[in-house]
Chain A
Amino acid sequence: MGVDILLTILTVVFALMVVFSKKTVVSAFALLMTLLCLAMIYFQLGTVFLSAVQVLVNAGAIAILFVFVMMLIDLEQFPNNRERNKIKLVISIFTILIIMGVLALIINNNIDTLTVINLSDNSMKALFEKLYNTYYLPFEMATVLLLAAIVACVVITNHRKDDDSDNEGADKGVHP
């Protein structure tokens, strides 16, 4: 029981840091920690596979991507605490209150029925078999989506300009 609360507190603290930290790089590392805490929660809930995938894909790769971008773009000139729009603030707070209220209602009404079912040890195998049989088509479509993403990223990022003027100061990082 204690571990639940500890992990929750850790996650909440890091999540708050993501949103309210002044430096974007700090936010990115806080996001990494949040994702790792979530992976620990998945581990505690017994879904070791999802926990490992979370660490490998989300925490391992996505966060690296963020950090790389932050190193590419000189973020010292882009602080993320610009003056905020008052109307947006009010609207967002209202939205959040409504969402919180609805969620609290749902959770409070159903909390007794939400007991933990211990899935059997073979649940992993069952999960995978479902993935490659019942969800065969969505899975293949997801790979097509990945292909589209690969093509898009290369095309967007890798276009070469003939004038190198805006690339000034870029460091090749290669031995001449």
Chain B
Amino acid sequence: MSIYYYLSAFLFCLGLIGTILKKDLISMLLCIELMLGGVALLFILFSKSTGFIDSQLMVIFMMIISACEVAIGLSLIIALYRNKQTIYTDEIKIITE
């Protein structure tokens, strides 16, 4: 059971590494999803260990927010790809035309 605490920390850190190191936007979004997964796991573990049920609700809200985040993020990527034909962060110098 306690191994899951380490797992959630690991997922968060791995997601962070990926988000910092990756150059393309899609991989960065994937890594952010990993981070969110790690945090959600931690919330559930805390609710299990303290009996405080509200933290499970936080997971529900996190899922709503991650859905919105992914949807808008990917829309932006598609719009960007249409205009600039690239998805690399270092090739995007300006956002407005």
Please determine if A and B sit in direct contact within the complex, based on CB atoms under 8 angstroms apart: yes
- Complex Cα gap A123–B55 (Å): 13
Q: Indicate whether B2 reaches chain A with its CB closer than 8 angstroms.
A: yes
Residue of B17, B57, B68 near A127 (CB, 8 A) is B57
| Complex: A80 Cα to B25 Cα, angstroms | 10
Could you say which of B18, B60, B72, B74 contacts A131, with CB atoms under 8 Å apart?
B60
Q: How far does the alpha carbon of A21 sit from the alpha carbon of B10 in the complex, in Å?
A: 17
Could you tell me the dominant secondary structure of chain A's interface residues? helix
B36 to A: closest C-beta gap in Å:
9
Interface string of A67-96 (1 = CB under 8 A from B): 001101101001010101000110111011
Contact partner of A27 among B2, B30, B44, B64, CB < 8 A? B30
Given A31-B34, A157-B75 in contact, is the A38-B40 Cβ separation under 8 Å? yes
Chain A window 2-34, contacts with chain B (Cβ cutoff 8 Å), 1 for yes, 0 for no: 001100100110011011000010011001001
Instruction: Count how many chain B residues have C-beta atoms less than 8 Å from C-beta atoms of the other chain.
Output: 67
Nearest chain B residue, comparing its CB with the CB of A89: B21
Please indicate the chain B residues that have their CB under 8 angstroms from the CB of A75 in the complex: 26
- Cβ-based interface call for A174 (8 A): no
8 contacts between A and B (CB under 8 A): A28-B30, A45-B48, A73-B78, A96-B13, A107-B9, A113-B49, A146-B64, A156-B76
Give the 5 A-B CB pairs with smallest separation, nearest first: A149-B68, A19-B18, A117-B51, A92-B20, A114-B49
**Residues of A in contact with B (beta carbons under 8 Å apart):** 4-5, 8, 11-12, 15-16, 18-19, 24, 27-28, 31, 34-35, 38, 41-42, 45-47, 50, 53-54, 57-58, 61-62, 65-66, 69-70, 72-73, 75, 78, 80, 82, 84, 88-89, 91-93, 95-96, 99-100, 103-104, 107, 111, 113-117, 119, 123, 126-127, 130-131, 134-135, 138, 142, 145-146, 148-149, 152-153, 156-157, 159, 166
